[in-house]
Amino acid sequence: MAEEEDKTEEPTDKKVEDARKEGNVGKSAEVVGALTLTLGSVYLLFFSSATTNSIKHLMYFSFDLIGHEMDGNAYYTLFDTTLTTMLVALSPLFVLIVVLVLIGNWAQFGFLVNPLKLDVGKINPLKGIKTLFALKKVIEAAKLAAKLFVIIVVMCLLFLLTGEAFLAMMDKEFYASLEAMIILISYFLAAILLIIIIFAIMDFFFTKHYYVKSLKMSKQEIKDEYKNMEGDPLIKGRIRKLQMKMAQQRMMQSVPDADVIITNPTHYAVALKYDKTVNASPLIIAKGIDFLAIKIKDIANENNIPIIENPALARALYDQLEVDQSIPEEFFKAIAEIFTYIYELKK
């Protein structure tokens, strides 16, 4: 219990990814059900004419057989026609349901491919009885009971409001009564659907909250995870790449402050800055080869920074010195000539 109370930290990305690989994701079945029912109802309401016509033709075909002598071929024809018609009529709805289930799951946690594993422990009936009384099971049962209670209450209220209209239908002609009854039933179904949608939205946020809470970590777990990651060669490689990328970004941001760019002229570029109030000699603030060299020269052109071609000097500075390092005495003469030339240009 004390261990659970210590888990106050938000789960790390690695913790979430590991849980995902194990198939542990924050999934709300209510969202999938509500999405399927809603769009399935929209399909039946607005796009079901082909389905209705197919079923209507099947009914006409069946009525035409009344009074005819039925043999083996007739029964086969009836079965074949019925099966084919129902498949054609209902296959769009079945495909829509499958697609909606996939979309409902993908929208919550993306596509997850996790191999199914046989867990012998789950076959144990005693363990199943214990699981039944777990907090999650109790919560699911409470949600179902609450949803059924709300639906029953709303249905009773609707029936009280429409009871007189329902009784009045009985005095009308058959088709008029049937049409009015369909409209009334549609109101009931719409109310149920609205309740399901509201519960699905509530369940989505509750599931996300419960999922994150179940993955929370203690400070010690985060420290242990970080130590393990430090020893992972793959993680080390990623960290090095990230550090290099960040260093390059910082380096490129300092190029506009350069006084001159020395190139070879295509493959090497070294940016120098000289502020006598800060350093006794010029400072290398950026350097690069190939793509980085081109990038440095592009930034220099955008900021009207002089670019001097000196292949031997550019290569020597790149090979022997690092970024943020001052120019050593051996390069003073060559660098002084370049800065003198630049100052003359500025005059």
CA distances from 75 to 41, 57, 66 (A): 34, 17, 12
Query: Is 228 contained in some domain?
Result: no
Query: Is 243 contained in some domain?
Result: no
172 and 87 assigned to the same domain: yes
Residue 125 in this model has a pLDDT that exceeds 50: no
273 and 204 assigned to the same domain: no
Query: Is 230 contained in some domain?
Result: no
Place of tokens 């955008």: 302
> Is the distance from CB of 34 to CB of 197 less than 8 angstroms?
yes
**Total number of domains constituting the chain:** 2
Residue 136 in this model has a pLDDT that exceeds 70: no
Q: Note down the domain range covering 200.
A: 2-221
What is the pLDDT at residue 116?
A: 40
Confidence grade of residue 66 (pLDDT, cut at 50, 70, 90): low
Q: What is the pTM of this model?
A: 0.44
What is the pLDDT at residue 83?
A: 76
What is the pLDDT at residue 117?
A: 46
Question: What percent of the chain stands above pLDDT 70?
Answer: 69
Residue 331 in this model has a pLDDT that exceeds 80: yes
257 and 342 assigned to the same domain: yes
> Which is more confident, 221 or 332?
332
30 and 141 assigned to the same domain: yes
> Is the distance from CB of 266 to CB of 232 less than 8 angstroms?
no
What is the pLDDT at residue 56?
A: 67
Residue 343 in this model has a pLDDT that exceeds 70: yes
Angle separating helix axes 174-215 and 29-46, nearest 10 degrees: 150
Query: Is 247 contained in some domain?
Result: no
Query: Is 125 contained in some domain?
Result: yes
Residue 115 in this model has a pLDDT that exceeds 60: no
22: its two tokens:
């194990």
Q: What is the CA radius of gyration of the chain?
A: 37
Query: Is 241 contained in some domain?
Result: no
Query: Is 244 contained in some domain?
Result: no
Q: pLDDT tens digit string along 170-220?
A: 666 666 666 667 677 777 878 888 888 888 888 888 888 887 887 888 888
What is the pLDDT at residue 104?
A: 63
Residue 18 in this model has a pLDDT that exceeds 80: no
Q: pLDDT tens digit string along 80-108?
A: 777 777 777 677 767 777 776 677 666 65
DSSP 107-148: HHH----------GGGG-HHHHHHHHTSHHHHHHHHHHHHHH
Bridge partners of 217, per DSSP, are: 9
* Long-range contacts (CB closer than 8 Å, 24 or more residues apart) made by 112-121: 112/20, 112/23, 112/25, 114/21, 114/22, 114/23
Mean pLDDT over the full length of the chain:
75
183 and 272 assigned to the same domain: no
DSSP 143-204: HHHHHHHHHHHHHHHHHHHHHHHHHHHTTS-HHHHHHHHHHHHHHHHHHHHHHHHHHHHHHH
**Mean pLDDT value across residues 163-167:** 69
DSSP 12-64: PHHHHHHHHHTT-----HHHHHHHHHHHHHHHHHHS-HHHHHHHHHHHHHHHH
80: its two tokens:
């074949």
Query: Is 279 contained in some domain?
Result: yes
What is the pLDDT at residue 130?
A: 52
Residue 242 in this model has a pLDDT that exceeds 60: yes
What is the pLDDT at residue 226?
A: 73
Residue 14 in this model has a pLDDT that exceeds 80: no
Q: Which amino acid is at 321?
A: L
207 and 272 assigned to the same domain: no
